[in-house]
Amino acid sequence: MKLKSLVALMAIATSVAFVTPAFAAEPASSVSKTAAALTLDDGAGAYKSGQYPNLFVERLHKTPEETRARIEQAFQKFFHGDGQEERVYFETGANENGPLAYITDWANNDARSEGMSYGMMIAVQLGKKREFDAIWNWSKTYMLNTDPANPSRGYFAWSMNTDGTPRSTSAAPDGEMYYAMALYFAANRWGNGKGIYNYQQEADTILRGMRHHGVLTGTTPFRVHANDPIPVEPETGWPSPNNRTEQAKAAKEGKPWPPFKRSNKPRQVSVGPMVDEEHAMVRFVPETNLPGTDPSYHLPAFYELWARWAPKEERAFWARAAAASRDLFHKAAHPETGLSPDRTDYDGTPSMGWDGKPSIYAYDSWRTISNMAVDYSWFRKDPRQTQLSDRYQKFLFKQGLSTFADKYTLDGKPASDRHSVGMLAAAAAGGLAATPGEISDAFLQEFWNTPMPVGEQRYFDGMLYIFNMMHLSGEFRVIEPRKTLK
């Protein structure tokens, strides 16, 4: 969840009935019926074959050694490079569970559940256990809402100051999902430890909470932990480059800034599950007054694994969710450009924003193409994904590989003058599903030639750079269980 989501969440009301448990499991009779009826198709991709394509080797004639070296170089810069220009991983002491570390959005000077869970995924894929455990320890210590008066209790706060105090106690489902998947992979790679390092148990808890969190209501302000000082929510967004640009634009046009200045007066908030059961889709946020979804949150490749590895009573839902996400990718995409909006209704219709205009293709949207392409690479169940990847890459190719904007209206009108490495990385990963040829290869070459981002904007661009370098090198893989999970 990025800065645009902050504006959204600062306008949201939340709610909690304090005697209600955070979540409850399904009845045993329901579990036995759904588990017995569930049959799974392994598809025709890498999950079944065990063969993960390295497109840099196959199409650009690089060597496996070159691609592995590129990934390790990126990891070292991102996690252990220069603190001012390169890295976003910072260790900050230790507690009884061991080292603590956070991943920061450098431009905004906060730690986000999105970035923390992404950092854990990078670490487990590359076998970096110290970094994985340190990020998870910081997440559990500072970000997990435990105050009984907080309706988001059981969820991770999506944005924290780097000193461990909250900027927002609200939750973002994209972080929760990457936490769960990274923890399952950790259980499979390293085995389960004790306490917070019983990775499988922690992942099970997250997935149960996403579905079975009670609808809770309370009045702001909320604490993360019961004994914390009462936080003061900011009236404006933080001074990131995106905000500074928008502020300057507003001043030039004589418009107020920020456009959605909120009040810090107490307000009621209701928080429920992170998924919509009827549509089998992840919600944009669990606050009940804001329905709809975000196509870039949809991770059918992960859902397929949860349909096999999650607690038995959860598996049928995630099998449904994988199919629903594949359909949403096509419903949300523009028929000519292939661009998808940041937020949609469950039928793929763009959601209306707080400015009264429909959602456009923006920062969250970058991830949609790579999520879809990875699903195609791992499971290859939906041939429509090739057509959509082709459409999307063809549109951006015509805009110029080194110059396309990082925001567009869905019909293809530029909505910014910035070109972003993260968007390029995700678009190049579309090659995992796209038809091999001139356009797909051009994306691969452009991405390979593009250095890892440094400086103020290195957080989100850098995350997507590393993720998609790994995807395209065949080094982002399903880490199988050591034995069948019960």
What whole-number distance in Å separates Cα of residue 465 and Cα of residue 484? Answer: 33
What whole-number distance in Å separates Cα of residue 48 and Cα of residue 216? Answer: 41
Token code pair at residue 278: 């009827």
* Catalytic residue from among 304, 314, 364, 382: 364
Q: Which helix (H) or strand (E) holds 370?
A: helix 366-378
Token code pair at residue 5: 């989501």
Q: Is 364 annotated in the active site?
A: yes
Tell me which residue of 180, 143, 151, 111 sits closest to 286, measured CA to CA.
151
What whole-number distance in Å separates Cα of residue 336 and Cα of residue 413? Answer: 12
Report how far apart, in Å, the C-alpha atoms of 478 and of each of 60, 377, 412, 443 are. 24, 11, 35, 25
* Peptide bond between residue 99 and the one before it cis (omega within 30 degrees of 0): no
160 in Cβ contact with 143 (< 8 Å): yes
* Catalytic residue from among 114, 174, 176, 204: 114
Token code pair at residue 164: 């461990």
The 8-class DSSP code of residue 430 comes to G
Token code pair at residue 433: 């599903």
What whole-number distance in Å separates Cα of residue 63 and Cα of residue 201? Answer: 39
Instruction: Classify 346 as helix, strand or coil.
Output: coil
- Pairing type for strands 281-282 and 166-168 reads unpaired
Q: What is the dihedral of CA 257, 261, 264, 269, to 10 degrees?
A: -150
Q: Which residues are catalytic?
A: 114, 364
